[in-house]
């Protein structure tokens, strides 16, 4: 009876809590299955997804969480933009194509770079070992070993969970249970440390904004300086031109026409 009342109180307490806003980053190499995963969670068919150009932003409600997921393009040339989203992320979902053994080293290097970034280190990370339905896909233990996952997460003090899954198995309520479990794990761990992560997110985003403003100002000053210098040289050339013209005319009038 006492237990039942305590459970009811806990449930009431949780029910009255305001929704928590959480931003997650979905990263991984191109073709790993990031967009298919987000689509499945969202309740849309994960089949026939087009390659992501730049990034896409998805908002969804997940229990007590209002989740925003940034699904970032994974091509080599676009990975440079990932860091622009690190400051506002509460946690990371790193999607791995378990069937692409040839690119596992590239995956490892990319993951290491993400986890070691000062704006990511210490945040919870969910690794989705995707495409388990494919023949020859690496199993969970192989992925942990080839990515040196334990070493990576220990070095960067990230809580980590790995889920072997398949993003194309189903969507909405039928989405692969491992994806659902992984997402719940990530959100629950963010919830446990919500205040601290929120503070960090606010501080980092303010710093990033200030840095962007500073860069913008410096760029504007540089452009202004170049403009002023161009004007200066233009005037100088103009002056020289008229000066030469004047002397040419002068010589012509006084020397040539004098004959
Ligand atoms: N067999 C299989 N194919 C998948 C899976 N997840 C994604 N794909 C396919 O892999 C390709 C790339 O998926 P996409 O979500 O665009 O990858 P992204 O570049 O990481 O966003 C698409 O053709 C998907 O249909 C999976 O779990 N199993
Ligand atoms: Mg994509």
CATH number at residue 83: 3.40.50.300
Instruction: With respect to residue 248, please indicate whether it lies within any of the assigned structural domains.
Output: no
How far is it, in rounded angstroms, from Cα 189 to Cα 197? 11
Q: How many domains does the chain have?
A: 1
Q: Is position 38 within any domain?
A: yes
Dist. CA 166–CA 137, nearest whole Å: 11
pLDDT for residue 191:
96
Is 30 within any annotated ligand binding site?
yes
Tell whether 63 is covered by a domain.
yes
Residue 35 in marked binding region: yes
Tokens standing for residue 196: 């601290």
**Are 24 and 37 a contacting pair, CB within 8 Å?**
no
Please report the pLDDT score of residue 2 as a whole number.
66
Q: For a substitution probing ligand 1, which of 29, 31, 53, 78 has the most ligand atoms within 8 Å of its CB?
A: 31
Q: Is 50 left (phi over 0), alpha (psi -120 to 50) or beta?
A: beta
In a domain, 125, yes or no: yes
Helix axes 177-192, 194-251, angle to 10 degrees: 90
Range of the structural domain that residue 88 is part of: 2-192
Residue 34 marked in a binding site: yes
| Closest residue by CA, ligand 1 atom 13 | 33
| Residue 211, number of CB atoms within 10 A of its CB | 11
On whether residue 254 sits in a domain, the answer given is no
- Decide if 232 is inside a domain: no
Q: How many angstroms separate the CA atoms of 107 and 32, rounded?
A: 10
Per-residue confidence of the chain (259 residues) as pLDDT tens digits? 667 777 776 766 666 667 899 999 999 999 999 999 999 999 999 888 887 777 899 999 988 899 999 999 999 999 999 999 999 999 999 999 999 999 999 999 999 999 999 999 999 999 999 999 999 999 999 999 999 999 999 999 999 999 999 999 999 999 999 999 999 999 999 999 999 999 999 999 999 999 999 999 999 999 989 898 888 888 888 888 888 888 888 877 877 766 5
| Alpha-helix residue ranges (DSSP H) falling in 61-130 | 104-116
Buried b or exposed e, range 11-40, using 16+ CB within 10 angstroms: eeeeeeeeebebbbbbbbbbbbbbbbbbbb
């Amino acid at each position: 009876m006492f237990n039942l009342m305590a459970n009811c109180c806990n449930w009431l307490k949780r029910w009255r809590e305001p929704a928590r806003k959480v931003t997650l980053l979905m990263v991984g190499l191109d073709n790993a299955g990031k967009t298919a995963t987000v689509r499945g969670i969202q309740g849309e068919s994960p089949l026939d997804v087009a390659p992501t150009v730049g990034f896409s932003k998805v908002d969804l409600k997940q229990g007590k969480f209002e989740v925003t997921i940034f699904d970032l393009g994974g091509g080599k040339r676009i990975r440079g933009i990932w860091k622009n989203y690190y400051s506002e992320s509460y946690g990371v979902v790193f999607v791995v194509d378990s069937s692409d053994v040839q690119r596992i080293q590239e995956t490892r290097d990319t993951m290491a770079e993400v986890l070691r970034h000062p704006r990511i280190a210490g945040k919870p990370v969910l690794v989705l070992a995707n495409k388990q339905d494919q023949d020859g896909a690496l199993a969970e233990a192989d992925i942990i070993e080839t990515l040196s996952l334990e070493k990576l997460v220990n070095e960067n003090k990230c809580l980590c969970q790995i889920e072997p899954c398949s993003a194309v198995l189903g969507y909405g309520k039928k989405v692969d249970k491992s994806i659902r479990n992984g997402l719940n794990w990530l959100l629950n761990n963010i919830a446990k440390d919500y205040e601290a992560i929120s503070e960090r997110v606010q501080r980092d985003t303010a710093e990033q904004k200030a840095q962007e403003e500073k860069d913008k100002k410096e760029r504007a000053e540089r452009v202004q300086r170049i403009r002023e210098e161009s004007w200066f040289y233009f005037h100088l050339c103009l002056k020289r031109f008229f000066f030469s013209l004047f002397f040419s005319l002068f010589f012509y009038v006084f020397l040539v026409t004098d004959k």
